[in-house]
Amino acid sequence: MSPSAGQMLIDHITPRLRSSIPRVVQLFGGEDHEELLQDSITVAAQMLHSVESAGKDVTPGNIAHYVILFMKSGRRSQSSSRADVMAPGTQLDQKCTVQSLDEQVSYGHDSDESVTLGEILATDREDPATLGARNVDWEEFTRSHDPRYSTLLKGIAEGRSIRESGDSAWSGYQLRRRLAVELRAYLGADAIPDSLRAPAWRNNLIAHREKQACR
């Protein structure tokens, strides 16, 4: 089969897929029909390549039929897994389900109050990975800079004044200024604004609660 013949078959297969995919193939997760159509064309091209390698003749109707069966079974061009929890095949087998974090969940059978999955999973505590990375940054910084910075940082964290830390006001002020300059150079100019910025999920949660209250 020549490349031009293969392209002609694809041109005849695509309209059949375009009319059938939205009607018979179930969407999963974030899929949409246009995405599934493009994926089904990829599957058709893969099938044409296979039959060409085997030296067999096919019609556009044959390929379109088997592509639709392929897609209906939950298989996709990039994966046919039935073990991956996010795979369409796994969800089609009802082995798992994907739910939105905005889905309402009741507190109990006797309660009219409900919350979203996102509110249940949300926490005001910082992400452990962020905390761990910050600790690593501090350790690396204090090991490679003035040893007095460790004492100064500990005093700042404990809320102690410069005099309580044992330094004169002038020397303590100068040390703090030098610490600020070197810390900004070490962590980057965006480190301080990033540390003060609220996580996006928290802002989304606050906005969602305000929206619910307005209703």
Q: What CA–CA distance (Å, rounded) separates 45 from 66?
A: 12
Cβ–Cβ under 8 Å, residues 51 and 58: yes
pLDDT above 90: residue 171: no
Global confidence as pTM = 0.47
- Residues 124-151 have pLDDT tens digits of 666 666 666 666 677 788 888 888 888 8
Which one is predicted more confidently, 35 or 154?
35
**176 confidence band (pLDDT: 50, 70, 90):** confident
Q: What CA–CA distance (Å, rounded) separates 182 from 188?
A: 10
